[in-house]
Amino acid sequence: MTSASSIFAFIESHPPLAIERFEFEMTEFRSVRRNLGAMAMLLRQSQDEAALDLAATVRRVLSEWLTVPVSFKTFIAEQLQSAVGPPKHIRARWGAEIGDLYADAIDGAVDLAGETNPLRQRLKEEIAEAVSGGEIVRIFCHSSAASHFQSFTPPNAFIHSPAWYRRCEPFDTLFKVGPLRSRGWGSVPDALISAPRYSRLALFVWEGCADEEGFGSDPVTTLAATGIGGIRSTRVVPAPRAVRIGVDLSGVSDDAPLMDELQFFSTFEPKADARNATLVQMDSEYGILFPPYSHVLSFDPAGDAHEPLSARLVDEDLREGMFLIRHIGHDVNGPEVHAEHGEFSRIWKAKLNEEFRHDRLALCDRLRKAGIELEHLETAVRHWCRPPTTVIHAPQKRSHFETLIRQLKIETAVPRWWQRAWKEIAASRGVAIVAGVEEREHMDHLLLASLGELLPEIRQMAGTANRHFVLSLHQDCRIGGTALFDRVELIETGFKAPDSELREVRELGGLGQWRA
């Protein structure tokens, strides 16, 4: 824990924060942005659920490109198509106007292939210069964006969440891609400006991407802005020094102002039943969204932990490095389920692996014809073949899973086999058995009491486990079943999601759509 004295000593001994804002222009990228932005705007005008979902997908792709140093040498056109779909499908489904915009965006993205992203290039140079000058540098980005920085960033330089920033020792330079916004993709805490722990902020933004108005506010200075007296403060918010960097690949002038997409996307209304949520990320692939003030069972492996096993408030007490505990018990209507090597998953995964190895193309073709219309079906099937980790990897939709099992032609005498196998998957994802609050609290109480008796064993397993371990609750325990322990990698606020998305293990890629 960073001491208050060290932070105050840093503030006292350093000059006021300096902000450098590198702003980039690139005609081809501007064209891609303009087309995708217009497409999202048109789709948002529809009340159709599918149109809104597609707008959300465009938002996700474009937001990512604007807030990470994406390499144009990788094929961003392919990335766009894999997320949104083939141009002919889009034209057929959404008409000529949207189809044309999308086709132009794809063309622009194809033109960018192989070009150097000037933002990425300058960021690399600035980081290299700072590091060679002996500076301690940090990069603020979401964990899912880290891969875009890793090739040119010192290890352990990342800050992924406000909580992470709070724990930081003072350092020299902070690098950030994308404007200063408190919500949405590339969001950062106001404390970067109101409570800086560094001397210099280097911002790398594309043209037209403005910082959020009022970003970095302090309730005290906000009050001062209303004209009320009685304020004592020596805080000064510096004006950024802007550096404009333009690259025109085509030579075609395009002076029309660009829409600020991130500002536009911030106006996307969350779904009607959406509510605030906090993401607890368990590994590089999965996480769970919890509503505010949720109590979660957790284990603190720290030797001096006051209560190693406890129901902790997600937003207050749970910390990165602790283990989230999920209980998989007996289902009165089905089999006992285990997330690791479950009775059913062993069988269908073995069969799936066998068929995938034998002829993956034929298998994918069969599945597609049977109704599993996923853009990257082969990748998805490869993913489903993997042994269980945090969850049993399987199709997200029940109907897809039913189709998969039917196509695998698993012979078994067990009635309602695929339904039971689906229950096993659902349980591993934490799909709650319908129970009242009181009953759940009672179950949690029993589980904590049972785990308390197994504390030495849990400590030992946590000491050797990297991220995940499973504890079977034996017959002497007050509650049966299995306890799954997943190390908390990251806790992140700033999501708004419908109830159906809460408290269940989900893939991180899909959770990105719920960033508020």
Partner 1 sequence: MDSGVLETTERPQIAAAEPAESAPLEFREANGTWQLAPEWATFLIRFGYLWAQSAQTARRRIALISLPCDSAAAGLVTLGALKCRLEIPGANDRSAHFERIRSLAGSVGQTIDLYDQRLRGRKRGPYRLTGHFSSEMPWAKLVNGPDEDKVTISAETARFWQFALEPPVEILQGNRIPFGTFYAALPTPRSGLTITQNLAYSDSAICLAGCPAGDASTRRVMSELSFRLLTGEIACLADLLTIHGWQRQNVSRVAFLNVRNGTLDRSCSKPQIVIAYGEISFLDATNRFPFSDVVGVIDLSADRERLEAVSAAIASMAQWFSGDEHLAASMPVPPKGIAVALMKTQE
Q: Interface residues with partner 1 (CB under 8 A)? A: 1-5, 7-9, 11-12, 162, 165-166, 182-183, 189-191, 194-197, 217-224, 226, 228-235, 276, 306, 313, 315-317, 493
Residue owning tokens 């010192």: 154
Non-local CB neighbours of 211 within 8 Å, separated by 6+ positions = 179, 180, 181
Rank residues 38 and 297 by Cβ distance to partner 1 and give the closer one: 297
What would the DSSP string read from start to end of 84-111? H--HHHHHHHH-HHHHHHHHHHHHHHHH
Instruction: Print burial letters for 132-150: b (CB count within 10 Å at least 16), e (below 16).
Output: eeebebbbbbbbbbbebbe
Rank residues 37 and 216 by Cβ distance to partner 1 and give the closer one: 216
| CB 264 to partner 1: min, Å | 20
| CB 2 to partner 1: min, Å | 7
Q: How far apart are CA 463 and CA 367, in angstroms?
A: 42
| CB 45 to partner 1: min, Å | 30
| CB 405 to partner 1: min, Å | 44
Taking the CA atoms of residue 229, residue 233, residue 234 and residue 236 in that order, the dihedral angle to the nearest 10 degrees is -80
Q: How far apart are CA 127 and CA 134, in angstroms?
A: 11
315 in Cβ contact with 278 (< 8 Å): yes
Rank residues 317 and 504 by Cβ distance to partner 1 and give the closer one: 317
Q: Which two tokens stand for residue 44?
A: 């948002």
| CB 265 to partner 1: min, Å | 18
Q: Is 428 helix (H, G, I), strand (E, B) or coil?
A: helix
Rank residues 183 and 478 by Cβ distance to partner 1 and give the closer one: 183
| CB 339 to partner 1: min, Å | 30
365 in Cβ contact with 259 (< 8 Å): no
| CB 40 to partner 1: min, Å | 25
| CB 4 to partner 1: min, Å | 4
Rank residues 11 and 385 by Cβ distance to partner 1 and give the closer one: 11
Rank residues 11 and 377 by Cβ distance to partner 1 and give the closer one: 11
Rank residues 94 and 165 by Cβ distance to partner 1 and give the closer one: 165
272 in Cβ contact with 509 (< 8 Å): no
Q: What are phi and psi of 367, to 5 degrees?
A: -65, -40
| CB 179 to partner 1: min, Å | 15
- What is the H or E stretch that residue 437 is in? helix 437-453
Rank residues 197 and 487 by Cβ distance to partner 1 and give the closer one: 197
Rank residues 143 and 278 by Cβ distance to partner 1 and give the closer one: 278
For the chain, the first-to-last Cα distance in angstroms comes to 29
Strand order in the sheet with 200-206: 158-159, 137-140, 173-177, 200-206, 18-26, 241-247
